[in-house]
Structure 1
Amino acid sequence: FKHNTGGLGFFECINDYDAAKLLFDTAINWLKEHDMEVADGPINFGEKNMFWGLLVENFTDPNSYGMNYNPPYYQDFFEKYGFNVYYKQFMYKRAVKEPVQEIFARKAQNIINNPEFHFSDVKKMSVDEIAQNFLTVYNSAWGGFAGFKPMDIRTAKNIIKSLKPIMDKRIVLFGFHNKKPIAFYVNIPELNEWFKYVNGNMNIIGKLKFIFAKMLVKPHTMVGIVFGVDREYHGKGVEGALIKFAEQTIAKKTEYDTALMTWVGDFNPKMLHLMENLGAKCYRTYHTYRFMINPDIPFERYPIVQ
């Protein structure tokens, strides 16, 4: 990080700015005592792919698992206190059967026709194999981003193990070039289609309700928790080839008909363009804010990824 950067999150407050200000003051003072110069929020303690950012647009659609939900007045609280929009996050969705644009499809077909490339789900992979492939793609796909911290194998294994109870191996996809993992499209079932039967209470009865719902209810929506391509392969058609593989397998052989895509930041114009080419529609917007604890440091937006 360019500056000592702290964070705040898990913010919940009634519609009372004085109460919100007290929470902000407490968090900022604690960060200041620990020599932080800027604060980002609302964020979580882990990776950016889940529970990151403040919902600012579309409060009516059913909420997606892994994404924050908050009342509209939170935006006023953050901005009145002095938080600036560090970057915007756009959520996309598409029909699984939606064809990619023609110019994009041609590049994808070139990859599909090349025997050096292949794509597969993870039905025949062990947890360790999935974790290693995930680690390789994750670090190569995001290695050039500002503030990026490389993932280690222990973290990758913990992520995959945590997903195992709800993982549908038919919708976790990888792309390979000469056996080297270069792309992934990791989906999980929309868990809220099961959690709605629990009514927010995961006691013993709630857990039993969840288990029965998982056995009896087949979600028709899948949530893409991460989609990435090795930076060396950007723009070569790998992205489209991976989506076309999803069309051929998920759309034809499973019950899923809608895909919610992982969020894309406004700092990543290539991925925004990719979403348009994939026929995805932006349906929800989040903000990640930054507060300048040290007023002598000028505020700057998150740098655009070239």
Structure 2
Amino acid sequence: MATNLTIRPIETKKDRKAFVDLPFRLYADDPNWVPPLKGEALGLITPEKNGWYSHAKVQLFLAEEAGKVVGRISAHIDTLALTMPAGQGFGPGVGQWGLMDAEREDVFVALIAAAESWLRAQGMTRALGPISQSIWEEPGLLVSGFDHPPTIMMGHAKPEYRGWIERAGYAVAKELMTYDLDIRKEFPPIVKRIIKSGENNPRIVVREVDKRKFEEEAAIILSILNDAWSDNWGFVPLTPPEIKDVGVKLKPIVFNDLIRIAEVDGRPVAFMITLPDLNEAIKPLNGNLLPFGWARLLWWLRKPKVRTMRVPLMGVVKELQSSRLASQLAFMMIDIIKRACVEHYGATRSEIGWILEDNQGMRSIAETIGSSVNKVYLIYQRTL
């Protein structure tokens, strides 16, 4: 270990900029890393710009050597996560770390030690990571699927990080995966029959959202989400400040025909959100909207033409989850949105997820329509 390596908590705006800038150097030669917009990355770690901080405690650390930043990490505690059932992954005494990058393993060892020390001082007894920073943002370490870029709001990492984390004494807590689907292909006959049956059922309506009623539609989706996902591992309810910030961030890539709400007897019971892969548009910008990046991005947002769509969220209310109707509604929404993706946006593939390894219902739906796992992420844990 280098004797002149120092780990310190960040204190200034300059430190935050250095925190954001480090990955641009470490991943400069990685063709599959997508440089985030620096303004967005700074907003993520700025309390005034991230609603998640309304229920979180955070300490960011920088590793420096000979005046050069060589690593970074975030230690954080989601106070809402502390109130969740322990059997669902979080619960009392569980802190997290994330936003981890380092030049070498000895740098990582020093960073994780600093993060763990801070968590212990806050009374935490177990650490989960990487979670960067909310479970709703970029959870997990990429361990499979390094050969193609991540989609919007999914993470990338260096392959060696897995060994560093495991040699530091961490064991796998949960596996997350995404599925790749060629949306130009027809669904299997059995799926078509299920969809047709649903289309002939007058009780079922699958409708577009109305972006003009953004807040009203978001409230409907949130209500279904918080019910549908409430028993899932790692679930933490979204709060009004987070919803507001997410709305501002995602509203430019929300399109009516890509988000659907399924109603049964006039009651909203399921939803599916699909987003054009913004990463395809921002990757060439190398993190900067100036001098001309903003104009290119605005032009793209007018009517995106993309190769890839991402399905980050879908859900069915709990009372229907064990019924045949749940999968029927899912297949109907997928089919309608799939056709819109191809016809209106020129897309050829979709990435579904992330999906928990033990979410057999969602995995079965993904596999039945012909998709296959393309990326795997791991969340690790360790007793402090």
TM over 0.5: yes
Tell me how far apart the structure 1 counterparts of residues 286 and 156 of structure 2 sit (CA, whole Å): 16
What is the root-mean-square deviation of aligned Cα atoms in Å? Answer: 2.2
Q: Which has the higher strand share?
A: 2
Alignment of 1:1-306 (within 5 A): 1-2=85-86, 3-14=92-103, 16-48=104-136, 50-123=137-210, 125-153=212-240, 155-215=242-302, 218-234=305-321, 235-236=324-325, 237-293=328-384
Aligned residues: 291
Question: What TM-score, normalized to structure 2?
Answer: 0.70
Task: Give the superposition deviation at 1:117.
Answer: 1.1
| CA-to-aligned-CA distance 1:87-135 (integer Å, 9 cap, x gap) | 1111112122433333344333332221111112224651112211211
Contact kept in structure 2, 1:121 and 1:169, CA below 8 Å: yes
Task: Give the superposition deviation at 1:71.
Answer: 0.7
Tell me how far apart the structure 1 counterparts of residues 94 and 259 of structure 2 sit (CA, whole Å): 33
* Structure 2 residue matching 1:8: 3-state secondary structure: strand
Higher relative contact order structure (alpha carbons within 8 Å, sequence separation ≥ 6): 1
Tell me how far apart the structure 1 counterparts of residues 134 and 188 of structure 2 sit (CA, whole Å): 35
| CA-to-aligned-CA distance 1:31-89 (integer Å, 9 cap, x gap) | 011111111111023243x3111000121112212111111000011100011111111
| CA-to-aligned-CA distance 1:229-277 (integer Å, 9 cap, x gap) | 2222224221112112224444344422221112111121221111111
* Structure 2 residue matching 1:272: 3-state secondary structure: helix
Moved more, 111-120 or 64-73: 111-120
AA of the residue aligned to 1:12: D
Tell me how far apart the structure 2 counterparts of residues 191 and 95 of structure 1 sit (CA, whole Å): 19
Contact kept in structure 1, 2:99 and 2:133, CA below 8 Å: no
Identity across aligned pairs (percent)?
25
Task: Give the superposition deviation at 1:23.
Answer: 0.4
Contact kept in structure 2, 1:135 and 1:153, CA below 8 Å: no
Q: 1:213 to 1:108 in 2, by over 3 A?
A: closer
Task: Give the superposition deviation at 1:192.
Answer: 1.5
Moved more, 27-36 or 255-264: 255-264
Moved more, 282-291 or 207-216: 207-216
| CA-to-aligned-CA distance 1:11-47 (integer Å, 9 cap, x gap) | 0111x21111000000001001111111111102324
Moved more, 168-177 or 215-224: 215-224
Q: Unaligned 5+ residue runs, structure 2? A: 1-84, 87-91
AA of the residue aligned to 1:130: E
AA of the residue aligned to 1:244: D
Question: What TM-score, normalized to structure 1?
Answer: 0.87
Tell me how far apart the structure 1 counterparts of residues 125 and 334 of structure 2 sit (CA, whole Å): 41
Tell me how far apart the structure 1 counterparts of residues 95 and 302 of structure 2 sit (CA, whole Å): 42
Contact kept in structure 1, 2:130 and 2:140, CA below 8 Å: yes
What does residue 300 of structure 1 align with? Answer: none
AA of the residue aligned to 2:369: L
Q: 1:226 to 1:147 in 2, by over 3 A?
A: closer
